[in-house]
């Protein structure tokens, strides 16, 4: 039998986006609003003022209100898990940040603020069958011909090539074919292009399918892949705006014109998607003015039906759109005369639209911003940053701040830094989150590689409850600040949860700066080898966080030579029944011999129970023994009137201190009404350790 494993786990306030308490600084000069992270450098919108502060503290990072900054010329893709990843673009300056949403664009998590590829717009990106993202070309101050790939939703990137076969260009299109190859079409490398290129190795190398496709050289067009593997290309600009539609059934080598003049007006900067039913939906763009119409084709682009002439979103260009696994369309950002970072969704092929998130740089967003902040537990710290701001503008900023639990300031260039520091100090004190820890032992990584089920019939680990030890939760401040939490330390019995789910869940409460929550619990290791102690799905979750914090691997080696118990050969013998110990000779006593081998150095506890034939256990008492005393043979005597009639057992439970796995031995006797069985004293009853 193996020793128990004792663990002590401490959690500190997390530095990073997993923190749930969110806050934002809203800086306004009366014409533009800028919003950004109050504990990080910089802000998040077009025309951002120069950084006024050097807040490089490492306390907590707070998600930007409204997520990615208003922009155009970005790209977006849908991942196999249904999340949306948005990359780059232009918000007044070129961007190379990457954002991800797992809820149809309602909330966003920044995967990285500065990807390895240079800040750019006018690029393309596609999702491969293996779930990786490939990003190609674009403009970063000059045209690009590099190709990059990410296998982790855009958080890290590998350069596939710095010099693809096609010329450096921007505003081309690219699609992924059913066979996993990428086809890239047209664009502008200093002049408009109508060449087509194909890669079968994630963009590392390219083959030219044609140097001059049937459609005219152009940029700002769109292209999609149909369910039958054909490519449909639409519109764009070849020196004038176009509304022709072309189709290729051979990976772009040859093309057939579906129509020279589609129902929608000649345009550029539009978007198009393929629906699950194989229809194409085309949205917005620029035909001399910004558009907000939506069109649909069910015959590969030959004919078109207008779904709406006035979609819910404002007339715009340079936006992106994607189709979700449920068949809805999500449209993001763009330019309607001002850069946008709003998100819209349609569930009826583009006929009607619902705004998913209402955050932009304009004053019209103020009311919606307040609603969004309150709904998501976000504090707004607003700053009026202009001498000539109207009283109405100041009142709006004050209402935004006070209505969300934040603060309002009026600032000039000379005191803006002090205000930012004051906000940062306020947030550092209040940076608490409701936190829970979930440890999943349904499956265990064994010997570094194999994931095995923690089968109750053949367990790897078993939870062991021990009052004051498992489960035990305490909290304290590292700077010796007194803690005001009633009842600490807490003791919990997780046996029921473990039995039902093989999981352990702990609610840790609110974590403040300099505060530690400590959890202690015990597991019994039932097998030998190397085991990942936290399990593949174990995590710490901060309330309202976008993602849980996965616990790091902690490998435990279980060695049988080190974990075998030092208690062996426990024996319990019935000796005799006596009648002569009481004055009136009416009381009977039953005596047992106890013996066992013990090689350890800790004290032992012996607990004695009566177990009746219906397996009911009755506690009798206990004895604490030193290591020397355990080596002596001893006797235990029971007054017979405490014994029920019938077949009973005296049960002995031995526990070595700090070893929670008890050892049991049982001696059985039969109690008669007058205890006169002449053979009773001649027979030993014992059970060896099992």
Phi, psi for 248 (deg, rounded to 5): -125, 135
In a domain, 689, yes or no: no
Same domain? For 461 and 559 the reply is: yes
pLDDT of residue 619: 72
The residue among 182 and 30 whose pLDDT is bigger is 182
Q: Please, are residues 484 and 555 in contact by the beta-carbon 8 Å criterion?
A: no
Run of H or E including 501? helix 495-501
Angle at 29 between CA 24 and CA 30, to 5 degrees: 105
Same domain? For 60 and 80 the reply is: no
Location of structure tokens 């110990």: 581
Same domain? For 676 and 556 the reply is: no
Same domain? For 32 and 60 the reply is: yes
In a domain, 295, yes or no: yes
In a domain, 345, yes or no: no
Same domain? For 458 and 557 the reply is: yes
In a domain, 687, yes or no: no
Concatenated DSSP letters of 283-324: EEEESSSEEEEEEEESSTTSS-EEEESS-SSPSBBS-EEEE-
Q: What is the pLDDT of residues 513-552, one digit of tens each?
A: 667 777 888 888 778 777 777 766 777 766 545 566 677 6
Same domain? For 221 and 311 the reply is: yes
- Taking residues 489-504, report their average pLDDT: 86
Q: Indicate whether 235 pLDDT > 70.
A: yes
Among 127-141, 355-369, 405-419, 423-437, name the most confident range: 127-141
Burial of 685 (0-12, 13-18, 19+ CB in 10 A): middle
Pairing verdict, β 354-357 and 378-384: unpaired
Identify the CA nearest to 346 among candidates 291, 399, 295, 420: 295
Q: Which residues does 134 contact at the CB level (< 8 Å), separation at least 6?
A: 125, 126, 128, 147, 148, 149, 160, 182, 202, 203
Same domain? For 559 and 443 the reply is: yes
Same domain? For 502 and 614 the reply is: no
Identify the CA nearest to 160 among candidates 198, 205, 204, 207: 204
Q: How far apart are the first and last CA of the chain?
A: 9
Choose one of 399, 431, 463: the last residue of a domain.
431
Q: Please, are residues 248 and 231 in contact by the beta-carbon 8 Å criterion?
A: yes
Q: Indicate whether 162 pLDDT > 80.
A: yes
CATH number, domain containing residue 658: 2.60.40.3880
The residue among 40 and 124 whose pLDDT is bigger is 124
Name the average pLDDT for the chain.
75
In a domain, 580, yes or no: yes
Q: What is the pTM of this model?
A: 0.51
Number of domains present in the structure of the chain: 4
Same domain? For 636 and 525 the reply is: no
pLDDT of residue 27: 60
Minimum mean pLDDT range among 304-308, 344-348, 605-609 = 605-609
Same domain? For 117 and 262 the reply is: yes
In a domain, 354, yes or no: no
Question: Could you tell me the residue range of the domain that residue 51 belongs to?
Answer: 22-66+359-431
Same domain? For 48 and 88 the reply is: no
Choose one of 413, 431, 449: the last residue of a domain.
431
Same domain? For 409 and 548 the reply is: no
Choose one of 563, 598, 627: the last residue of a domain.
563
Q: What is the pLDDT of residues 433-465, one digit of tens each?
A: 567 778 888 888 877 777 777 788 888 888 888
In a domain, 324, yes or no: yes
Q: What is the pLDDT of residues 568-597, one digit of tens each?
A: 555 665 555 555 444 444 445 566 666 666
pLDDT of residue 532: 78
In a domain, 349, yes or no: no
CATH number, domain containing residue 326: 2.120.10.80
């Amino acid at each position: 039998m193996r020793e128990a494993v004792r663990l002590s786990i401490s959690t500190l306030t997390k530095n990073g986006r997993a923190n749930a308490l969110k806050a934002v600084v809203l800086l306004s000069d009366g014409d533009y609003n800028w919003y950004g992270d109050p504990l990080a450098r910089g802000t998040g919108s077009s025309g951002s003022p120069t950084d006024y502060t050097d807040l490089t503290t490492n306390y907590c990072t707070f998600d930007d209100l409204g997520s990615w900054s208003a922009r155009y010329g970005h790209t977006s893709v849908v991942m196999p898990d249904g999340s949306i990843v948005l990359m780059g673009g232009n918000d007044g300056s070129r961007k190379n940040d990457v954002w991800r949403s797992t809820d149809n664009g309602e909330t966003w998590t920044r995967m990285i603020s500065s990807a390895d590829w240079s800040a750019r717009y006018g690029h393309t990106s596609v999702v491969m069958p293996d779930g990786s993202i490939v990003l190609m070309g674009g403009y970063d101050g000059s045209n690009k011909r590099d190709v990059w790939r990410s296998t982790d939703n855009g958080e890290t990137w590998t350069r596939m090539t710095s010099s693809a076969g096609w010329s450096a260009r921007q505003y081309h299109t690219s699609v992924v074919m059913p066979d996993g190859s990428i086809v890239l079409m047209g664009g502008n490398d200093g002049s408009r292009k109508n060449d087509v290129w194909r890669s079968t190795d994630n963009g590392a190398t390219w083959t030219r399918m044609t140097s001059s496709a049937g459609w005219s050289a152009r940029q700002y067009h769109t292209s999609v892949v149909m369910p039958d593997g054909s490519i449909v290309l639409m519109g764009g600009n070849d020196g004038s705006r176009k509304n022709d539609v072309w189709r290729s059934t051979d990976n772009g080598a040859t093309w057939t014109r579906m129509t020279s003049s589609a129902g929608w007006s000649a345009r550029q900067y539009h978007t198009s998607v393929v629906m699950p039913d194989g229809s194409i939906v085309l949205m917005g763009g620029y035909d001399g003015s910004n558009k907000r119409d939506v069109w649909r084709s069910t015959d590969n682009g030959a004919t078109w039906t207008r779904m709406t002439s006035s979609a819910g979103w404002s007339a715009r260009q340079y936006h992106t759109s994607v189709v979700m696994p449920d068949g809805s369309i999500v449209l993001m950002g763009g330019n309607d005369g001002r850069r946008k970072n709003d998100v819209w969704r349609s569930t009826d092929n583009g006929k009607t639209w619902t705004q998913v998130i209402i955050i932009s740089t304009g004053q019209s967003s103020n009311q919606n911003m307040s609603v969004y902040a309150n709904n998501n537990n976000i504090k707004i710290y607003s700053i009026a940053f202009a001498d000539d701001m109207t009283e109405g503008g100041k009142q709006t900023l004050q209402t935004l701040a006070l209505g969300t639990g934040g603060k309002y300031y009026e600032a000039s260039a000379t005191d803006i830094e002090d205000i930012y520091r004051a906000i940062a100090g306020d947030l550092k004190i209040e940076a608490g989150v409701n936190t829970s820890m979930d440890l999943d032992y349904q499956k265990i990584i064994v010997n570094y590689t194999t994931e095995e089920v923690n089968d109750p019939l053949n367990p790897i680990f078993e939870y062991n409850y021990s009052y004051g030890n498992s489960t035990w939760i305490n909290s304290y401040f590292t700077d010796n600040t007194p803690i005001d939490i009633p009842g600490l330390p807490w003791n919990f019995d997780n046996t029921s949860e473990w039995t039902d789910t093989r999981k352990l869940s702990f609610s840790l409460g609110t974590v403040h700066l300099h505060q530690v929550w400590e959890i202690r619990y015990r597991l019994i290791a039932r097998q030998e080898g190397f085991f990942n102690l936290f399990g593949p799905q174990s995590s710490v979750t901060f309330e309202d966080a976008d993602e849980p914090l996965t616990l790091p691997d902690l490998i435990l080696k279980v060695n049988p030579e080190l974990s075998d118990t030092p208690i062996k050969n426990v024996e319990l013998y019935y000796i005799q029944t006596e009648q002569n110990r009481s004055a009136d000779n009416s009381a009977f006593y039953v005596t047992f011999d106890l013996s066992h081998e013990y090689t350890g150095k800790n004290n032992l506890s012996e607990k004695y129970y009566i177990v009746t034939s219906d397996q009911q256990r009755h506690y009798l008492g206990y004895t604490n023994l030193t290591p020397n005393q355990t080596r002596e043979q001893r006797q235990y005597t029971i007054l017979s009137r405490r014994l029920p009639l019938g077949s009973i057992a005296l049960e002995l439970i031995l526990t070595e201190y700090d070893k929670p796995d008890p050892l049991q031995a049982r001696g059985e006797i039969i109690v008669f009404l007058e205890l006169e069985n002449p053979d009773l004293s001649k027979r030993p009853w014992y059970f060896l350790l099992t």
